[in-house]
Amino acid sequence: MLKNKPQSSAKKLQRIQRNTESHWVGNGFPVRSLFTYPKLGPAISPFLLFDYAGPMDFPPTSQRLGVGEHPHRGFETVTIVYSGEVEHRDSSGGGGKIGPGDVQWMTAASGIVHEEFHGRDFAQRGGLFEMVQLWVNLPAKYKMSPPRYQNILNDQIPVVKLQNGQGTARIIAGEFEEAAGPAHTFSPIHVWDLHLTSEQQIDLPVPEAFNTLLAVLKGTVMINHADTIGAAEVGIFYSAGDHLCISNAQNATVLLLCGEPIDEPIVGSGPFVMNTDAEIRQAKADYQSGKMGHLMS
């Protein structure tokens, strides 16, 4: 069990990743891709991609804002909503609406077709929209598993109060103190949604040899009393070390991502991430032939 106490050696910051350019996914998600696997590969494994959508104010509308039917194979998508609502449905029968604090953990695995839109009620009233979507790789032995969908509501996510009133940690996946996240994963992963409010030093325990990333969405934090990570930036750490040393947190909203690296080839093309070119060609053929299913009208 990971404990909230100082350990022996802090992980060192390897780089700070940022992207000031945004693009639209469909007509509902103004996205900055803060990291992607083609550029960073092994340094971020088992994570593949991190899209930060918003924050953006949307006026009231009767339009369907989002992205329509599209496929995935070979990985999982994790959607965390901070403001607004997202409606999802997929070819496995999964689906639902998630709002602030809720999480959608979709395992595409052998293949799934899905759509994502702003919630109808939210679109009609308008307002601030902010969410993140994380892509998590699957080990080769699980890439052709049956798809599944986990709808994780805010009140199902345990909250840990950090030492000395330094903030809170929502444990979405993995463990911290006595709390275990509700997300079921295929490899050892920790996903913690942190709200840090103190300038005091805090040491967060993370496993030795696991890749660790710290995505700051709002505010700022200082790492090892030396480097500052600001809003819409991701700190990528060397795997050696068993804790993160954080201080000078300025009302920061932070996602801690930590996982055991998957030491396998990564071959991707658009919505498919596999291990070989042949598997990518097969994924495209299977989608085009309807083997990944369709959404019912």
> Identity (one letter) of the amino acid at 39?
K
Cα 55 from Cα 53, distance rounded (Å): 6
Q: What is the pTM of this model?
A: 0.95
What's the mean pLDDT in 93-115? 95
CA gap 296, 291 in Å, rounded? 15
Q: How confident is the model at residue 1 (pLDDT cuts 50, 70, 90)?
A: low
Residues, the chain? 297
Share of the chain above pLDDT 70, in %: 97
SS3 label, residue 287: helix
* Residue 80 confidence (pLDDT): 98
Query: Which tens digits make up the pLDDT trace of 232-272?
Result: 999 999 999 999 999 999 899 999 999 999 999 999 999 99
122: tokens are 């939210």
Residue tagged 């942190």 (tokens): 194
Give the whole-angstrom CA distance, residue 47 versus residue 135.
6
Eight-state DSSP code of residue 9 = -
With cut-offs at 50, 70 and 90, classify the pLDDT of residue 94: confident
Q: How far apart are CA 54 and CA 59, in angstroms?
A: 14
Residues 32, 260 contacting (CB under 8 angstroms):
no
User: Is pLDDT above 80 for 7?
Assistant: no
CB 114 within 8 A of CB 81: no
Lowest mean pLDDT among 24-28, 89-93, 207-211: 89-93
